[in-house]
Amino acid sequence: MSQSVRKAIIPVAGFGTRFLPVTKAMPKEMLPIIDKPVIQYVVEEAVASGITDIILVTSGTKRAVEDHFDDNPILEAWLKQSGKTRALEEIRSIGKLANFIYVRQKGPYGNATPVLNCRHLIGDEPFAVLFGDEILIGKKPRLRQMIEVYEKYGDPVIGAIEVTREETKKYGILDPAAEVEHGVYQLRGMVEKPGPERTPSLLAATGAYILTPNIFDHIEKMKRGHGGELILLDAIRGLMKRRPVYAKTIEGAYYDTGSKLGWLRANLELALQREDLAEDTRKLVQSLARHKKKI
């Protein structure tokens, strides 16, 4: 029987250059989706999937992320005095979502480095990795869907989405060897941004993984990639030579909030799902459409 997945690593030390100049002083993970930062959506997905320990890998410029999941006695006292009970309960609940652990990123740039930085906290347990700028909204949390695959097969799992042939030039594309059950594939390999002519499939890797502890040895031994970076998918590709790795096609709406259009789309679509905002948002979108036609 597979061990339970209790811990999730969330790398949040990146510069967020796609959102400069706003990310010069504010972490991209704190960009709001309506009234809640992106990173909170990611944490809530993990908690809803059964994760108890959240390991945030930060840098000196990401204090706002740490502060968001901490208590704020001054604000709480003011809300209590002002009778804003609902807001008080909401901000108090944020810090109680999970056990939060903070690690400063050290080592070469790249998304495998923050994973390696957490080796001492993981031990011999399986664990999840979630990128801090991607969210997926569905009936069942993305990570829960992946954990169920891990519990069945006992091997690493990559979260995947289906993309168009043209979009294959923007993603790491998975090369499936076989579909072992509906929406679950054992993988043969991966290709980084192959484009329509070279793509082995239309399955793109998202920033969500269930990994086993032997990934750390692969990260330590692998050579640095483009720009001197340590890339997590390269380590998983090495792991694939020693044990099966699976992909789970995720059911739900995927948002890459690290891109401007992805962030804007997430705000509009999630606003349309909220009772307090849906009607006014719909009117706003219709008004913008009419205005565009006039231009």
Helix (H) or strand (E) holding 207: strand 203-211
| Closest by Cα among 287, 12, 257 to 130 | 12
pLDDT value at residue 117: 96
Whose structure tokens read 């694939």?
240
Asked whether the beta carbons of 262 and 256 are under 8 A apart, the reply is: yes
SS3 category, 36 = strand
Domain boundaries, the chain: 7-154+206-258, 259-295
pLDDT by residue, tens only, the chain of 295 residues: 568 999 999 999 988 889 999 999 899 999 999 999 999 999 999 999 999 999 999 998 889 999 999 999 999 999 999 999 999 999 999 999 999 999 999 988 889 999 999 999 999 999 999 999 999 998 999 999 999 999 999 999 999 999 999 999 988 899 999 999 999 999 999 988 899 999 999 999 999 999 999 999 999 888 877 677 888 988 998 899 889 999 999 999 999 998 999 999 999 999 999 999 999 999 998 888 887 655 4
Counting every residue, how long is the chain?
A: 295
Domain 7-154+206-258 CATH assignment equals 3.40.50.10470: no
pLDDT value at residue 224: 78
* Euclidean distance between CA atoms 256 and 263, whole angstroms: 7
pLDDT value at residue 260: 93
pLDDT value at residue 222: 84
| Closest by Cα among 33, 35, 133, 32 to 91 | 35
pLDDT value at residue 93: 96
* Euclidean distance between CA atoms 44 and 281, whole angstroms: 24
| DSSP symbol at 179 | E
